[in-house]
Structure 1
Amino acid sequence: MTPELPLHMQREGFGPVGELARVRDGEGMLRLDSPFGKPVYVVCRHEDVRQVLADPARFSSARTSFPGVDKLDPDERARLRAGQLIGFDPPEHTRLRKMLTGEFTARRMKRLEPRIAEIVESALDDLERAGPPADLVEHFALPVPSLVICELLGVPYADRAEFHERSSRLVDFSLPMEERAAAQREDRDYMASLVERAYAEPGEDMIGMLVREHGDDLSADELVGIAGLLLLAGHETTANMLGLGTLALLRHPEQLAMVRDDPARMEAAMEELLRWLSIVQTMPPRTTTAEVEIGGQILPEGSLVIVSLPAANRDPLFIDDPESLDVTRGAIGHFAFGHGVHHCLGAPLARMEMRIAFPALLRRFPGLALAEPYEKVAFRAFSAVYGVQSLSVTW
C-alpha cells in the first residue's frame, strides 16, 4: 500500500500544491503530525527558511533522529552516519567539509569544462541514434551527470545501472523504511569496496585524493560516507534538473527559443529554472536546540522543523510574479542549493553541467518537442528529488 505523500512534497505539475502556497502567504508555517512520534513544523516563507538554514546552532541537523534508527546497534548506527556531512553541525561538519571544498571551486570546475562538453556531445549522439522518439532521461539527462560524477570520484561507469537503482530506492519515500535502509547498506558496501581499492592504489580521482591527502584525518567509514553522498547527490540532482528543466522549456516555447538562440541568456535562465523547479523538496529535518521564534510563532525546544524549498522559492515577498517562469531575470537568492553551512558543495559543478548541456541539446535539436501528451508525463512524486520518470521527445 502506497503511503500518503507528505504535504511538503506534494506538487501540482512544476510547483508546490496550493495548500503550501496558502500556508506561506498566511501564517507561514504549518504544524503536522509525523512518523517521528512528535509534531513537525513545515516552514514555507523565504525569510523564515533562510533563518532556519542559516542557524545550525538553534536548528540542529545532528540532533535529528529518524524512525528505526534507535533499533540499530550503536556500531552500525555510527557506520551509517559517518561522513554524512548533511547530518552534522559545526564543528564536525566544518572538519569534513573543508577537506572537500578545494575540489569544488569554480576554478577547479573550469578545468573540467572540455571533458563535460565531450560527455554532453556523446550523450546527444546516443539520443539521436535512439530516436525520434527517444527517452531524454535515459539517453541524456541521466547519463551526462552520471558519467561526470563517476569520472570525478573514480567510480566505474559500468556500475551505473546498479547505483542508479540503489539511488532511486534511497530517495523514494513510497518505500518502507526497511527497504530504503537496505539500499543504504548495499550502497555503503559498494562504496567500501571502492575506498578499499583506493587505499591500495590511490588514483587521481577524488577518492584517491582524499586517501592521499586526508587518509590520516578521515576514517575508512567517513571516506565511504563522503563518497556515497557525493555519488548520490552528483547524479540525482543534475539529472532531474536536465529532465524537468527541458520539460519546463518545452512548455514555454518562447522562452526555449530565447535560450536556444542567445547563449548569453543561459546564465540567467539556469538560475530561474533552479528557482522555479526547486527539484530538491527540502533539506534534512532540523531539531530546535532551544525555544525559538519563527515568523512570529514560538517553537519549543526539541521541535522538528522541515523547510519547503519549492514554497520559499515562489514567495511573492522574495520575488515578483513568482509563479511565472521568466528566463530573463536570473533569480539570485533562491534556495535550490540550500543555504548556510549546508549550501550544496557541488553547486559549481551542477551549474557548469547545466550551462553546457541545455544549450547543446537545443542547438542539436532546434525542433525538440514532446512525443507524448504533457498529461501523460510521469513525475517522481514520492522522490526527495523531484523530476520526471521519463520524457519521450522528438525533433
Structure 2
Amino acid sequence: MPDAIRYRHDGLVCTDHTLDVPLDHDRPDGPALTLFAREVVAAGREHEDLPRLLWLQGGPGGRADRPSAPGAWLRRALRAYRVVLMDQRGTGRSTPADRTTLAGQPDAAATAAYLGHFRADAIVRDAELLRRHLGGDREQDRPWTVLGQSFGGFCALSYLSTAPEGLERVLITGGLPTLTGHADDVYRAAYARVLAHNERYFARYPDDQRLVDAIAAHLDTHDVRMPTGERLTVRRFQTVGIGLGNASKFDALHYLLESAFVPGPAGPTLSDGFLRGVDAAVSFAERPLYAVLHEPIYAQGGRATAWSAHRIREEFPAFAPATDRPLRLTGEMIYPWQFEEDPALVPLRDAAQLLAERTDWPALYDLDQLARNEVPVAAAVYYDDMFVDREQSLETAAAVRGLRPWITNTHAHDGVRVDGAVFDRLLAMARGEI
C-alpha cells in the first residue's frame, strides 16, 4: 500500500499505516482526520498469512502501546497474530487533539462539538475502516480479533453493538463498563474502591501516611511551584492516588514519597525530583483527552454528567483535606478545578464545561444486539479493580450473550501488561479450549 512504511525493531517487523477517516462518520464528505496504526509481526513471519489482532488501549485519550514499551501481552499475541496498534483519534500520530491543535477552533462551543466525536462509537467506526484498509481488495471482509484493555473494553462492547461482522473474537481485560448506568453510579462505586486501595497502600507502607500528611501540610502553608510554573495544591497532590490501581505503579508511589523532603535554608522543603515525579503523575499534558472526555465516555440516555465525580465526592468526606484526620488520595476522577490548575487543560476549560452540560449524547451500546451476540467473548474481571466496578462488570457480562467472564483477584487493573498468562487464558477461553 502506498501509505505503508516498514522497518525492523528488536525482532519485530513494523509497518506504519495512515488513512483518512471522517470526523463525523455520519457525514463522510465532511472534515477528515488522519488515523495512524502500526502493524507488528514477529520477524521471520512477515510473509505468513497470519490473522490480525487489534489492540484497543485504555484511556480515553491514550495513544497505542509502542513496540518498545514493556507489555507482557504483545509478545504472547505475536505468536499467533499480526498485531495492530491503532492510535485512537486525537492521540499519538493520529490527528492530535490538545490545547495547541484545538486553538484553531473558533470558540468553546465549536471545540466541544468537535470533541463530541472522540468517544468509543467513533473509535469503533475508525477501526472498521482500518480493518478493511489493511485487508485490501481480497480480505476486506476478513474479521479480526480485538483485545480491549480498560477503556478499550468499552470500545470493544461498542464494536460488538455496531459492527459484530468485523469481529472474530473479543478479549477484554478490566473493561466491562455499565451499559445503562449514569456516571454518578460509576463514581459512587469508584470512591468506595479508592478508599479501600488507600487502606491497602497505607497498610503496606504505614510511615507513608505521615509523609502524605506532612506534604499536605507543607503545601497548605507554602507556595510550592511545579516544574511548569503553576502552584501545587493539596487537592491536586491528592490525585497521585490514581497509581494505586495498577500493580506496576502501586509501589512506585512509595519510592516517590520517600524522596519528598530535603533540607532547605528555612527548614524541610520539597525536592525538585519529587515535584518532577508528581508532575509526571498528575499532569495531563500527554493525554488531555483523558481529562476532557473521562465523564462523557459514560454519557448517554439524555442526562448530563454535570461533573459527576466532583458532585459525588461530597458523599465521601474522607477525601476532604482536614487537619484532624489522615489525608486520603483520590483515583480516576476528573474535577472542574483541574481545568484551572493544569496548564495543559486551562485553555480547554470552557469546552469541558459545555461537554459536562451536554444532554444529547447518542447511545454507545445496542442492548438488543448484545443480547443476541454470536461473537466469542472472554473477559477478565479483576476482583479488586480500582478503576472498573466488579458488580457493574458482572451485570454487563450477563447482558452479553456468550460472554465468558474470568473473575480473579490475582491481578490488578494492568494484569494483561504484567503477566502474559492473562492473554493466554482469555484467548483459550474465547477459543473454547478451557
Name the TM-score class by shorter chain: under 0.3
Bigger relative contact order, structure 1 or 2, given CA contacts below 8 A and separation 6+? 1
The structure whose Rg is larger is: 2
Give the TM-score normalised by the residue count of structure 2: 0.25
The structure whose residues are more often strand, as a share, is: 2
